[in-house]
Structures are given as C-alpha cells and as structure tokens.
Structure 1
Amino acid sequence: MPRGAGVVYRSFGAADAETTALRLRAVARRRGLHLLIGQDAGLAARIGADGVHLPERLAHRAQTLKRSHPGWIVTAAAHSLAAARVAGPDAVVISAAFPSRSASAGAPLGPVRLAALVRTAARPAYALGGVNDKTARRLLDAGLIGFAAVEGLAP
C-alpha cells in the first residue's frame, strides 16, 4: 500500500484484538499508513490508533468522536443516500460498488448510483467491493475523477 493509505482493523470482539491492533499499529507506522479501528473507539484510544471507522448504524457518533479526539480520522460506512448525508465523518466508505465475493457485500451499486452517493456525501468517498482495474475504469468513465477506489479493506 502507498504511504498515507489507510487500513481498517475490524476485530469483531476477538479476544486478542488489542495484541493484533498493536502489531498492526507498528506495521502501519513503519510503512507510513493510517490505522483506523472498526467501531471500537476504546480500543483505538488504548493503542494510539489514527482513528475509527464506524459502521453505518453508528455514523451519527462521528461528531462526538471528533470532539473527543480532534486528531483522529473518523470514517463511516455509507450504503444509502441518507447515510452519505450524515454529518461528522471525515470520509465515507461506500459499498458495495460492484459485485464482490465478500460475505458482507450487499447488492452492488454500480457507477451511476455510486456517483450519486459520492455527490451527496460532499466529502472524500472511497469505493469498496469489486473494485479492480476494469471496474475502476468504469468509475472514471462515470465522471468520478479523483475518486479513490479501494478493494479489500476489511483490515
């Protein structure tokens, strides 16, 4: 991954979450990456992460987290226009952009609906799910110039 890229660690309540997060933080720092912790602000604070990634249902907590931790990067999942409009997150991760083999991927949005969510978000937006060389070209063709596309961020 290029320097400055972000990684999201979603521990899902794993017993070794803190140990794993500390290891990931060390790797991220060495490589110039930003480590966000999925949903767990307590874990993010304990290990000195760069921020938190919130699931869509918790996106409304972004402003409170930003006030409590002004240096954090706070992102949120957005699967709908309403979610893309929620105030507070620094960026949104919109999924599923295209068909994906991920077990958590929903119905693919495709470039037209994805573009509508990006415009609605009015902040940095990242596509997740099924993004590859071929589908990234479709994003460019849909006028999503400067839109960062990422695949496989279940970090």
Structure 2
Amino acid sequence: MSGSVSPEQMRQYLRMYLVVGSVNCQTEPIRVVEEALSGGATMIQLREKGPGALEGEAKLALALQLQAACRRAGVPFIVNDDVELAARIGADGIHVGQDDEPAGSIRARMGSCILGVSAHTVEEARLALAQGADYIGVGPIYPTASKADAQPVQGPRMIEKMRKQGIQLPLVGIGGITAERASEVIRAGADGVAVISAVTQAGDVREAVQTFIKQVGNKYLS
C-alpha cells in the first residue's frame, strides 16, 4: 500500500520539486534551499552523490540542516536513495531509482513515509505503483549534466505514454528542465517538475523558483 499522503496532496508537493546536493550548488546548500523555499518550492530532496559528495557525519549534518529549513517552511524533505539516513533523521520520504533497494522493501521498512520511484518505462511505473510508490519521477526529459548516470533522454513523450497507458499515479518530470520547457512537461501530463541546476546554479534562486511556479501553476489555475 502507498503512504499516508493523498494523491491530490502529492500532486501539489510535486509542483516545484527542488533536488539539491552540495556538489551542484554555487553557494552553501542551506542558502540555496532557504531561498528556494522563500520563492515557493513545494518539496526538497537531498541528493548527495557524485565526485566530492559529502559522506558520513558531514552528510548527516547537511541533511539535518536542510530538514530543519523544510520543517520551518512546512515543506516535505526527501532523501535520495539512503534509507538508513532517511530513517535516522525521520525524513518525510525517500526517493529511489531502479538500481536501488526495491520500492516494496523500502515501503515495508519505512512505513507511511512518502516514497518516490524513478521510472523510465510504463512497466517500471506499474511495478512502482504495485510496490506502494506515492509518485513517479520520469526522465531524463531533456539532456542533463547533473546526473552522470542518467538514462537516455526520453522527452515529454514518455510522460504522455504513461498517461495514455493508464498510469494515474502522481508524476514529476526531471532532467534538463528549464523554466521555458516546464509548461511543455506539464502539458504532457506531469503534475510538476523536479529541478536541479536550473535553480541551484541560478544567480537568483528565489526568482528562478518563482518563474518555474508560474509556468507550472497554469495547470492548477485552469
């Protein structure tokens, strides 16, 4: 079974989903997250991976710092892949890929927390649903430099295909999404966009987030 978050609430959380790690921020991650939250970011994920990524106590300290900022803002804090860390700090949720621990196993271990799963095919999306996922991350939609291990670029068409094949679970697009492309992803059937570099590398993080929200928000205003 899925977590305690309703699909309607999950769709709202996915609107402007910031994925952040120390290796892809121009300044301290906490500053990026605080600015993003002030701009209206709806969910935050710590994805601490890649060359130079923090480990051990340093990663724990960063997670606690970002989690505290999210709690102050009333926004869910998600941990990427690291189930032990998520459990240790009582994160609001965890996001896993196809090469990580199976979603069903995580659901059994973590109970009613938010569970997100990356899916690249309709079959993977159906399996994620069966294993208790609350949402699916679909991508990479466009070319991205933020993930060295990214799958082949899919474009918005995979989101369209999932919707046409009856996947009703909340979906978020990720991978190379700019503010200019956000509305295209939403039109394809996504409930929101997950963004890394377009926000973490922005000169004005708050403004960047607000621009994304304007592009995504049209779906929720119609």
TM-score (norm 1): 0.81
Q: Does 1:125 align with 2:166?
A: no
- Are residues 119 and 48 of structure 1, via their aligned partners in 2, closer, same or farther at CA, if it must alter by over 3 Å? farther
DSSP-derived class of the 2:95 partner: strand
Q: Does 1:69 align with 2:106?
A: no
Instruction: Decide which moves more: 130-139 or 16-25.
Output: 130-139
CA displacement 1:85-124 (0-9 Å, x = unmatched):
2122111111111222324343321122231134554311
Q: CA deviation at 1:65?
A: 2.6
Amino acid of the residue matched to residue 90 of structure 1? D
In the TM superposition, 1:1-155 aligns within 5 A as 1=36, 5-12=42-49, 14-15=55-56, 16-58=58-100, 61-86=102-127, 87=130, 88-104=132-148, 105-120=150-165, 121-142=167-188, 144=189, 147-152=191-196
DSSP-derived class of the 1:92 partner: strand
Greater RCO (CA < 8 Å, at least 6 residues apart)? 2
Q: CA deviation at 1:4?
A: 7.6
**RMSD over aligned Cα, in angstroms?**
2.7
DSSP-derived class of the 1:46 partner: helix
Task: Give the number of aligned pairs.
Answer: 152
Unaligned runs of 5+ in 1: none
Is 1:94–1:126's contact at 8 Å kept on the other side of the alignment? yes
Is 1:4–1:34's contact at 8 Å kept on the other side of the alignment? no
Instruction: Decide which moves more: 13-22 or 38-47.
Output: 13-22
Of Structure 1 and Structure 2, the greater helix share is in 2
Unaligned runs of 5+ in 2: 1-35, 201-222
Q: Distance in 2 between matches of 1:138 and 1:41?
A: 33
Is 1:56–1:76's contact at 8 Å kept on the other side of the alignment? yes
Q: CA deviation at 1:11?
A: 3.0
